[in-house]
Amino acid sequence: MAAVNILWQPTNPGQLTPPSTSPSHSNFNSDIIHTDCYHNNSTNRIAIKSKWAAVPRRALTKVRAKFSPLPSQMLPESSISSGGKSSWIQDNSACGDNFVHNGHRQGPIHSRFPTAPAEVSSVKDLFDFICSGPLLDKFGLTTEKVAESIDKWLLYGSKLCRLFQLDELYMTEPQKVRIYHYYVPVFLWCEDEISQHMSTFNEGEDIPPLVIGFSAPQGCGKTTLVFALDYLFRITGRKTATLSIDDFYLTAESQAKLRESNSGNALLEFRGNAGSHDLSLSVETLTALSKLTKEGLKMKLPRYDKSAHNGRGDRADPSTWPEVEGPLTAVLFEGWMLGFKPVPAETVKAVDPQLETVNKNLEAYYDVWDRFVNSWIIIKIQDPNYVFRWRLQAEIAMRADGNPGMSDEEVMDFVSRYLPAYKAYLPTLYAEGPKGSDPKHVLVIEIDEGRNPILGC
């Protein structure tokens, strides 16, 4: 089949930041995605493995009927970097050429391409690739259903390529996996959750926004996922607000008091674990967001400045907080410990005796966070030690870019303050789900060390 351009054309890479029509939050403080880029050097084409030996002729006919060839348009030569192994996306708040989005200074998004790009040769190639995604079975999607909605898949994929400055016709397999096996299907799942949520209200009733909770370990790409979903929501005309549990950290003054009252407990020396958050601010914020059901209703979203006080952090000045306006369709709420619940004392003692106080503090967290969440996305990892390797990758990348970064020893010390909680609470989260959650509205996605989905649970 002749090569055709089936996707929308890329725009000026300098204009790829999301529109500001709906103020929301994307905090690229530590997430960084590294994925090996590899290809078949003999053919310069990436091998696409489909779980279907053949695409049903009727489905393929539907796909072909939706699209006609468009002229090819490549990204500028300067946007392509050579090298067999490189990062898929780097987002680093310490970079010198940061951009400002919704009140936060953020690192640039870099997209690096292989010397010999992989060709997207036809509608059928991309259709096969989409249908080979590991999450489709979880969603009950067949080749026929994908064919019926292929225009959405390609539109959303095209928009994300523009957002992340990827060339739609020359993507590496890791790039295609991240777009078409992960971000787009998760967005479609969220859309379905919103539809179900809205269907429970009568015509004319105020519909509060659906709160989608994202629980995922640090460094696994949850912030980038939320950023992508928020962008897709806004380009489809939906108003959303994004929050992180980081936004609810105690002020520097209150954090100092917590440290003094727990002298000797390394897990509460710095912000992070249960006990270091302003729970009343959480309730106030999430309650107010649930009431943004009409045009003209506005509120400001709290933000936290991790760079304040030489890295100790402090709540950002309220004058800098972004404003969000109703009616909101969804609230995207993410955090590394969202959904954690207390476990028996003997369990935490076996992990780390210092965790006992954290476990006690965690008892209050359901009422201030989890009870507000309607739908859950749980990013599951096989080994908590991935967090150390991911954080180490981030710091190495920062140093390689000429920016200050933690040493390997400092990374180990930083991550060691979180690992006890992962080891104590992740098994229960994966086995039982968050407290009060409805299994019908919980999506568990297992990812590998490269941060790509391997199983829809």
Which residues have CB under 8 Å from 201's CB, separation 6+?
Answer: 207
Ramachandran quadrant class, 188 (left: phi over 0; alpha: psi -120 to 50; beta: rest) = alpha
CB atoms within 10 A of CB 310: 6
Classify burial at 337, counting beta carbons within 10 Å of its beta carbon; exposed 0-12, middle 13-18, buried 19 or more: buried
Q: Look up tokens 């249908």; give the residue.
A: 131
Torsion sign (Cα): 255, 260, 262, 263: positive
Classify burial at 327, counting beta carbons within 10 Å of its beta carbon; exposed 0-12, middle 13-18, buried 19 or more: middle
**213, 434 in Cβ contact below 8 A?**
yes
CATH class of this structure's domain 26-456: alpha beta
pLDDT in tens, the chain (457 residues): 333 322 333 333 333 444 433 333 433 333 333 333 333 333 333 333 333 334 455 555 655 555 444 333 333 322 322 222 234 443 332 232 333 344 443 443 433 333 444 444 466 788 999 999 999 988 888 899 999 999 999 999 999 999 999 988 888 889 999 999 999 999 999 999 999 999 999 998 999 999 999 999 999 999 999 999 999 999 999 999 999 999 999 999 999 999 999 999 999 999 999 999 999 999 999 999 999 999 999 999 999 998 888 778 999 999 999 999 999 999 999 999 999 999 999 999 999 999 999 999 999 999 999 999 999 999 999 999 899 889 888 888 877 877 777 788 888 888 899 999 999 999 999 999 999 999 999 999 999 998 889 865 5
* For the chain, domain boundaries: 26-456
- Give the number of C-alpha atoms closer than 13 A to the C-alpha of residue 164, restricted to the C-beta side: 29
The pLDDT value given to residue 57: 56
DSSP 162-228: HHTT--TTB--HHHHIIIIIIIHHHHHHHHHHHHHHHHTS-TTS--PPEEEEEE--TTSSHHHHHHH
Taking each helix axis as running N to C, give the angle between helix 222-235 and helix 184-199, from 0 to 180 degrees, rounded to the nearest 10. 60
